Structure 1
């Protein structure tokens, strides 16, 4: 192993190295300063805005797709009846 290189993946040394990492190090986390932190800031409980569960988002998306599909079918039937 060369000097300064990371240990082999899956080895005991790599596991120990991961355990030693500091998760609250300045600059790398969500509180690291800068313009807006990281993307993880959007997924915390402290994020501003409306809190909607993923199930509600999925149901609303499927409902919107169904609504647009129904409008397309109604439009086709309306124009087919008008031409006849």
Structure 2
């Protein structure tokens, strides 16, 4: 008789803890919904604002890369431009 009561108590505790685990998991999911919404909004801001800025920056870099390569030659180019203007005058 005692063995049946002990097994019944174990079964009740097992069912209770399984139910408690399911409720706890559901509660954590419900609590995480606002954080998921904030994460979705931040991802949307990242995609809609920062990615176009990166694309524009990449395009500007591709356009002005030849000018940046000529940067170290700038003093020589200015001297040649000055000589050209003196000779032209």
TM-score tier, shorter chain, comes to 0.3 to 0.5
Rg larger for: 2
Q: Which has the higher helix share?
A: 2
RCO comparison, higher one (Cα < 8 Å, 6+): 1
**TM-score (norm. length: structure 2):** 0.38
**TM-score (norm. length: structure 1):** 0.40
